[in-house]
Amino acid sequence: MSEYISEKPSEPAIEPDPYAVANGYIIPDAEEKAAEPAASAVSDDAGYAGSDGSYGADENYAYAGGGGNYGGGDGGYGNYGESPYGQPEHTFRKREKTPMQITKKAFVAILILCMLATSLLTMGGVALMGNYFYKPATDATNYTLTKSDETLSYKSIINKVDDTVVSITTEAVATDSWMRNYVTQGAGSGVIIQEDGYILTCNHVIEGATKITVTLNNQKTYDAALVGADPGNDLAVLKIDAKGLTAAQYGDSKELEVGDQVIAIGNPLGELSNTATTGIISALNRTLNIDGKELSLLQTDASINPGNSGGALFNASGNLIGIVVAKSTGSDVEGLGFAIPIDKGAKIAKELIENEDKEQTQEQQQSGNESGRPIIGIQLRDLSDEEAFMYGYAQGGIYIENVTSPNARAAGLQAGDRIVSIDGTNVASSTELKAALDEHKVGDKVKLVVIRGEEEVKVTVTLSAASE
């Protein structure tokens, strides 16, 4: 609503009329009124307009003074009667509104603030998107396998991966025949799989150790804690208190072919840290019995020596494709080294890290209880045809020696059953059966076909954890 100012004869200072204020009318103050010309008398006998309107000649024609009609506090019909002149007409002028103005300095300041806010929102959005969508290939818990056809020189591979391989030394307490305790020392290698200090190695390197020390390529040493172990697959994960380490990038060992170039890096003899040797993939899926455990391994002719166990086998792109586990021994045996395929190693490392339980004792961790590796819950024995005949069976194969888990018993498995297939895939050895189980997780149901006597029996078993 527009505001108006009443122009009228000079009058003494008075209180504003609430009605005028409520309706947007502003009465000039005393000083403004004094500067304005006085209104003329209504008639010849009206008298002079005094400040109080008391000099009117006729009481019916008195001008309104302090309490009169020309802007007095109460308005009305005048002080001395009800003359129609008690409500004189007013003239009004419109008060012009001053438009809001922004100075140059204020405009520049507002512009800068808007630019800063936009930059902050952009940076925050980029960070959020990066954290949400980007998962580094070196993250073991992400289990990302990198496929690459890039071929690097040996020198380039070593420069790329040398800092990912560590040396491991261990101490353990042993007892001699006189029941006296003494400290034994061991050595091996490991591979950094996460920049925050997770290291993958072989279980036999750290098994039974009371103290584990890790030495990086820059010669910094750290005490290591055992996160978890899977003795059945001869793998273990360690943790050191370090950040910003260089982690290996997983390759895809299923894409390997015989003849592919590889490079092994480790700590041979426990004294020659980060030694690199070169070779090729000599064979795939070699079955080897190590400490009573049958493992399906990669074979290489790269030079492998004691102390290399737990070290890395890289492909021509510098990606980790295996964990060195053993070499064939013998004075006349050379060029036979073996490694656990990283497809299996990465998956087991992921499970060990995710199932880490800091409240478990070292003895419990070394038993593999925390690995969460899926099992049927049976003890197996591979029999050749000759051995099977000796035990009274018709043919060789995978036989159940003992049923150890409640789930396997509930499914109806029995000692003496010969396992023929799992989920429709025929299996001829316990190694093949174990490889099939590695594709599952605890709680999965698998379908088995077994031969019991001359009868074919189909059973469904819920897989248990290795600790059960």
Catalytic positions: 204, 234, 309
Residue 293 CB neighbours (<10 A)? 15
Rounded to two decimals, the pTM is 0.56
* Rounded-to-integer distance, Cα 18 and Cα 326, Å: 103
Residue of 360, 398, 388, 367 whose CA lies nearest to 467: 367
Domain range 374-465, its CATH number among 2.30.42.10, 1.10.760.10, 1.10.357.10, 3.60.21.10: 2.30.42.10
- Boundaries of CATH 2.40.10.10 in the chain? 165-239
- Parallel, antiparallel, or unpaired: how do β-strands 221-223 and 25-26 relate? unpaired
* Rounded-to-integer distance, Cα 16 and Cα 27, Å: 7
- Residue 67 tokens read as 């309490």
- Residue 382 tokens read as 């591979």
- Parallel, antiparallel, or unpaired: how do β-strands 320-327 and 312-315 relate? antiparallel
Give the Cα-Cα-Cα angle 284, 290, 292 (nearest 5 degrees): 125
- Boundaries of CATH 2.30.42.10 in the chain? 374-465
Class of domain 165-239: mainly beta
Residue of 449, 451, 467, 468 whose CA lies nearest to 459: 449
Helix (H), strand (E) at residue 295: strand 293-300
Query: Which conformational region is residue 392 in: left (phi greater than 0), alpha (psi within -120 to 50 degrees), or beta?
Result: left
pLDDT in 10s for each residue of the chain, 468 residues: 444 444 445 555 555 555 555 555 544 444 444 444 444 444 444 444 444 444 444 444 444 444 444 434 444 444 444 444 444 444 545 555 555 666 777 777 787 888 888 777 776 665 555 444 434 444 555 566 666 667 889 899 999 999 999 999 998 877 656 656 667 788 999 999 999 999 999 999 998 888 999 999 999 999 999 998 888 889 999 999 999 999 999 999 888 999 999 999 998 887 888 899 999 999 998 888 777 677 889 999 998 888 889 999 999 999 999 999 876 554 455 568 899 999 999 989 998 898 875 444 444 444 444 456 788 988 888 888 888 888 888 888 999 988 888 899 899 999 889 999 999 999 988 888 888 888 888 889 999 999 998 899 999 999 987 754
The CA-atom distances, in angstroms, between 229 and each of 207, 225, 253, 355, 363 are 9, 11, 22, 11, 10
